[in-house]
Amino acid sequence: MRDYSTPTRDLRRERLAGNWGGASEHIGRRWEEVGLDILRRRVNCDDLRTENGYRPQVAVPLADDPDLQLALSRSGLPSPDVILVLSNGHGERILQALDFKWNLEFASYSQIRSEALQALIEKGVAPLHTLLQGSLGEMPDGLPIMDGLLSAPRLPVNQWFLGSEQNKRQEYPIEPREVMFEELDPLAFFEPLPGWEMAKTLAAADRSQMRLQSLDGAEHYYRLGAGLQGAVGQLRVSVFVRKPPAATADAAIEWLKAKVRPPSSLGFLQYSEKLMSARSQLLIRVRALSRCPYRFADLAEALKARGKPLPEREDGMPPQEREGWGDLLRRVAVQHKELIYRTGLKLVEAGLSDADALTRLEGESRRFAAQARSHAEKLITATLEG
């Protein structure tokens, strides 16, 4: 295997910034979609072979059905993105797991090992058995299973990772034979994703449009573009706005140009990192304030005072009773949270900064706790009298 040097891009920084705009999530979903199309074409063209002579007959995706995904998550077992049904031409069939991973750094052999798929099938997840039976024409139980594959784009960082110390230190290092690398058209891949217009604008500001022709360069600018666009959407509003409105690429770049001179992706990034770090600290304070001060112990104490003692632990109650009191606690928590955000926003609209509004709210924490308790008492009375 070719010896790829350590990546020169600051990938961790790019990923953190990109996630201001959900870049990793967008890329991951897009790769599952594009990767599945590539896989199906390769299966249909008989372009996949295994060392033991088996050829994939059909690719069975598991991500298309929400009910199946829910059932798989409830199984508590790892599940792949696709199950391949292979045949050796003599009527003998075998199953194989396949997982799509944009970054092999976050891949795990445990996701695709034969034992994992075997355990999943033996678990008897009904929707999975129905799907496989429809594809196989028979129940999957008893069919042999081979170790699976990872499907990843041919990025320098992925090829570097296979030979890296980070990979070698894993309990089960990923081997080159376990990865199918795919060539992608950078523009065709990234163009449908939110944030790509911003990415192109940043590349133009850096006079680096040619970097968009490589998958590595396009990913770099996409993560920055999606991230900065997402950051501007948040930075333009108070931390007390629950769902900041999205910023368009044009609005985001104009906002950044008004703050940073000369315009460049690095300058925009450095400026946004400082503001987003400060905003993150404010959000931590908001979340602490909005955490409901009325807990299960308070509920138990209130009911005990009314002659209705509860078990010391929630799991000691009958399910219906636990659900009812749990719903009461949730209603108290929702009202408390709404009160914090609503009051904070009013203070900001009256001219206070986010930081000053938070300080004011923190100084009134006892009053908010008393209001939560009062609300809970009213709900308890209504429940007991109902």
pLDDT grade for 311, boundaries at 50, 70 and 90: confident
Give Cα separations from 3 to 7, 10, 150, 279 (angstroms). Answer: 12, 20, 20, 41
Please tell me whether residues 295 and 334 are part of one structural domain.
yes
Asked if residue 76 is part of any domain, the answer here is: yes
**Choice between 314 and 57, residue whose per-residue pLDDT is larger:** 57
Single residue among 157, 184, 211 that ends a domain in this structure: 184
| 219 and 325 within one domain | no
| 130 and 153 assigned to the same domain | yes
Res. 66: pLDDT tops 90? no
Quick count: other Cβ atoms within 10 Å of Cβ 337? Answer: 18
Identify the pLDDT of residue 3. 42
Residue 295 lies in a domain: yes
273/298 same-domain check: no
Q: Is 38 part of any domain? A: no
| Span of 1-5, 43-47, 117-121, 290-294 with lowest mean pLDDT | 1-5
Pair 207, 160 in one domain: no
Domain for residue 164, yes or no? yes
Query: Shortest CA distance to 300 belongs to which of 317, 277, 286?
Result: 317
Q: Could you tell me the two tokens for 78?
A: 């790892």
Residue 26 lies in a domain: no
Span 245-251, average pLDDT: 96
Co-location of 212 and 268 in the same domain? yes
Statement to judge: residues 295 and 331 lie in one domain: yes
The total of structural domains in the chain comes to: 3
The string of pLDDT tens digits covering residues 112-153 is 999 999 999 999 888 898 888 888 887 778 789 999 999 999
Q: Which residue has the higher pLDDT, 162 or 4?
A: 162
Which neighbouring-strand residues pair with 99? 150
Judging by DSSP bridges, how do beta strands 93-100 and 179-182 pair with one another?
unpaired
Residue 32 lies in a domain: no
Residue 308 backbone phi and psi in degrees, to 5: -125, 65
CA dihedral in degrees (84, 88, 91, 94; nearest 10)? -40
Three-state SS for 121? Answer: helix
What is the extent of the structural domain holding 357? 291-385
- Return mean pLDDT, the chain: 91
**20-64 pLDDT tens trace:** 999 999 999 999 999 999 999 988 876 666 666 788 888 999 988
138 lies in a domain? yes
Query: Tokens 């009298």 belong to which residue?
Result: 385
Last residue in a domain, options 165, 184, 203: 184
Q: What average pLDDT score do residues 178-203 get?
A: 97
Residues 166 and 200 in one domain: no
Q: How far is residue 141's CA from residue 129's CA, in Å, rounded to a whole number?
A: 9
Answer yes or no: do 223 and 295 share one domain. Answer: no
User: Is the pLDDT score of 87 beyond 90?
Assistant: no
Which amino acid is located at 89 in the chain?
Answer: G
Q: Is residue 228 part of a domain?
A: yes
Determine the average pLDDT of the residues in 189-193.
Answer: 98
Instruction: Evaluate the omega torsion of the peptide bond into residue 262 and state whether it is cis, within 30 degrees of 0.
Output: yes
pLDDT at residue 320, as a whole number: 83
Q: Are residues 218 and 246 in the same domain?
A: yes
Does one domain contain both 278 and 315? no
Q: What is the mean predicted confidence (pLDDT) over 344-362?
A: 97
Check whether residue 175 and residue 62 sit in a common domain: yes
Examine the fold and report which residue of 184, 204, 229 is the final residue of a domain before the chain moves on.
184
Q: How far apart are CA 297 and CA 40, in angstroms?
A: 55
